[in-house]
Amino acid sequence: MATDATPEEVHAVFRNSRIIGRRFRIVHVSFGREVIEVTTFRGHHDSDSTPGKGKASSHSRQSDKGLLLRDNVFGTLEEDAVRRDLTVNALYYDSASFEIYDHVNGMRDIERRNIRIIGDPEVRFREDPVRMLRAVRFAAKLQFDIDQDTADAIPRCARLLGEIPPARLFDEFLKLFFAGYAGRTLEQLLAHDLLRYLFPDSDYEIRQDKVAMALVEAAMNSTDRRIQDGKTVTPAFLLAALLWPVADRLADQLHDRGDPPVAAMHNASQQVIAGAMGTLSIPRRFSMPMREIWEFQHKLERRKGRKAEELVQNRRFRAAYDFLLLRELAGEDTGDVGSWWTEFQELPSTQQLQATVDHTPPERTRRRRPRKRRPSAD
């Protein structure tokens, strides 16, 4: 929702509201579990105040590279439309008159199935590099094409995503992959070479390894299906899939250097998560389950004695088991233990122990992937 009222004025009207943000101040109005986001019409940067609003409530500041550090200059609806990022996202509906206001040819772009940045794409991307991710996200969501001028500016500005705080990039990660079109979003990110600014190591691995790519695609498609079916999803599982190729390779290397398999994966998990945190600020409530899913894989492959019965009762078993099936679906060699665990869960408890005795776990054949020189990320 957009209005000409300042955040303070909106907050004064709704006691069940709070002002959030510093760079871009908005108001969240809560109604039970629903949160209505209310934003004030923005004006042009060359104005440090809006008539009648006062300088204290509006301010804009940019870095020497053009990045918007603060954007609280308030203005009119017409000015706000021009300041929006995408033409298809700059349409205003007046609930009183039932009219649609279109100041930037957004309706035309919808008819053409076109995603286009308002204004000079390079200037707008420099103001806020996250707009590149938004362009990709809307293209994936609507199944539109990205305007050529907009697309051409992305490789010139992509490196600026490295200046975005990890916490904000994690929020964008959630928006990109948990709206029901993660598979198409992944395709767009790879096509425009933007995934490496979110998951640099994963981007390299999946481009080099077809099995790694198949695993990530399978996880994306699985997430989309669960969302479409109204089932719960967790970022931990998708993060586990995106970073597994990196963790698995590092665990192989540590194992070759003498670490036992369990210790190798444990150490690899810690290093990979620490490395990912430099780009995305992954909350502990997601990083811990992700690590447990990885470390569970070796236990599932061994399936020994009473340990197998205990594993089924573990709270991480289902997620780890689903992850194992995805690995096999992608083409990883696990000794076909996925089908064994599927059958094991269906056995009466009196027969489960015998099942572990009858089957000696095979040694896993580690995939040896050629290591190519990694290009720089500039």
Q: What is the value of pTM for the model shown?
A: 0.80
Region of residue 102 (phi > 0: left; psi between -120 and 50: alpha; otherwise: beta): beta
What are the structural domains of the chain? 173-378 (1.10.3090.10)
Cα gap 11→113, rounded to integer Å = 37
**Ranges of the chain whose pLDDT falls below 50:** 47-58, 60-61, 68-70, 357, 361-365, 368, 371, 373
b/e per residue 270-300 (b: at least 16 CB within 10 A):
eebbeebeebbebeeebbebbbbbbbbbbbb
Phi first, then psi: what are they for 49, rounded to 5°?
-160, 165
The pLDDT of residue 55 is 38
Asked whether the beta carbons of 63 and 69 are under 8 A apart, the reply is: yes
What is the structure's pLDDT at 81?
76
* Model pLDDT, residue 376: 52
pLDDT at 217: 97
Rounded Cα–Cα distance for residues 309 and 307 (Å):
5
- pLDDT score for 296: 93
Among candidate residues 75, 3, 74, the one with its CA nearest the CA of residue 39: 3
CA dist 253 and 245 (Å) reads 12
- Alpha-carbon Rg for the chain, nearest whole angstrom, is 25
For the chain, where are the E strands, in sequence order? 2-3, 17-20, 26-31, 34-40, 60-62, 68-71, 91-94, 99-102, 114-115, 145-146
Measured distance CA(272)–CA(274) in Å, rounded: 5
pLDDT given at position 53: 42
- What pLDDT, on a 0 to 100 scale, did the predictor assign at position 372? 52
- The first and second tokens of residue 95, run together, are 């609930």
